[in-house]
Structure 1
Amino acid sequence: MMIFVNLPVADLDRAIAFYTAVGATQNAQYSDPTAAMMRFSDTIAVMLLTHERFLGFNPKKAIVDAKVSSEVMLCITAASRADVDDRVARAGAAGGRIDVNEPDEYDFMYGRSFEDPDGHLWGVNWIDMAATAAMQGQPETVEA
């Protein structure tokens, strides 16, 4: 199973550069002047769509300005605390707004956040699955 997150963007080239900087890779097969498929993993992809293209899928609803209204908070996992910090730092260096929310700091979890240039909110979390499973008295069953 895969998940494709579709995001409207004001400037496709800027969005491609931003998502490349935070670790996604562009799949040219599913990209054109109105859309770009950016892969975070084999199962997670972000489809960056110009406003015109995005409206083609749902023309009866206005596009939310994610800089002023809540839209959705997306979250991806990281392999370590250092990976969380690295991805968030890359987001900031690429023009994103970092630490939009207070960082989550626990023994079993660490997370930070950023907004992309269009205001889409992302969380990046490291979760110690073994510690989480032990707290719940269960074997580790979920991969981070």
Structure 2
Amino acid sequence: MPRLIFVNLPVTDLPRSVAFYASVGARKNPQFSDETGACMVFSDTIHVMLLTHAKFSQFTSKPIVDARKACEVLICISAESRAEVDDLARRATAAGGAADPTPVQDHGFMYGRSFEDPDGHIWEVMWMDMEAAQAAMAPAD
């Protein structure tokens, strides 16, 4: 069985965050959702747990970072194409997020953009042509 990843994010407005993540392609798993948190599924292996501050605080004694003022983490998710990278950034912006809080990356074989969710969490979206990447990184003879 492949490993699963559950990214836990504190959010200030759970319904707004659920709507945002649904807009960028995640689906809500009601089995693991309630009034204090929502499990948003991007794929069979990638899940985002959106947790109210009260719920998130049950898992750590550290203060919750205001992601609009300080960077806690950069989360990166892959895309199938350059067009999908651009589409995801566009959908995030249309849903209330902010596009490109970090510089656009265009290395030919690799292309990436980013967006912030309504709470300021930064997501990078990256496409890579693996064959071209391997050729570009191959040692010179």
Alpha-carbon deviation of 1:106? 1.2
1:135 aligned partner: 136
Alpha-carbon deviation of 1:134? 2.1
**2:19 match: secondary structure:** helix
- Percent identity, aligned pairs only, is 58
Q: Does 1:106 align with 2:103?
A: no
Q: Deviations 1:85-139 (Å, cap 9, x if unpaired)?
A: 000000000000101111001111000010000000010010111111222349x
CA RMSD after TM alignment: 1.1
**2:96 match: secondary structure:** coil
- Matched AA of 1:74: I
2:88 aligned partner: 87
Q: Does 1:47 align with 2:61?
A: no
Q: State how 1:1-80 maps to structure 2 within 5 Å.
A: 1-58=3-60, 60-80=61-81
Segments of 4+ in structure 1 off by > 6 A? none
1:142 aligned partner: none
Structure 1 length-normalised TM = 0.92
Structure 2 length-normalised TM = 0.94
**1:56 match: secondary structure:** coil
How many matched pairs? 137
**2:80 match: secondary structure:** coil
> What 5-or-longer segments of structure 2 have no aligned partner?
none
Q: Distance in 2 between matches of 1:23 and 1:89?
A: 12
Q: Deviations 1:3-39 (Å, cap 9, x if unpaired)?
A: 0000000000000000000011110100000010001
Alpha-carbon deviation of 1:81? 0.4
Query: Which deviates further from its counterpart, 74-83 or 129-138?
Result: 129-138
- Matched AA of 2:116: E
Q: Distance in 1 between matches of 2:135 and 2:91?
A: 33
Alpha-carbon deviation of 1:75? 0.5
- Matched AA of 1:95: G
Q: Distance in 1 between matches of 2:132 and 2:46?
A: 25
Alpha-carbon deviation of 1:56? 0.6
- Matched AA of 2:17: A
1:116 aligned partner: 117
Q: Distance in 2 between matches of 1:114 and 1:92?
A: 8
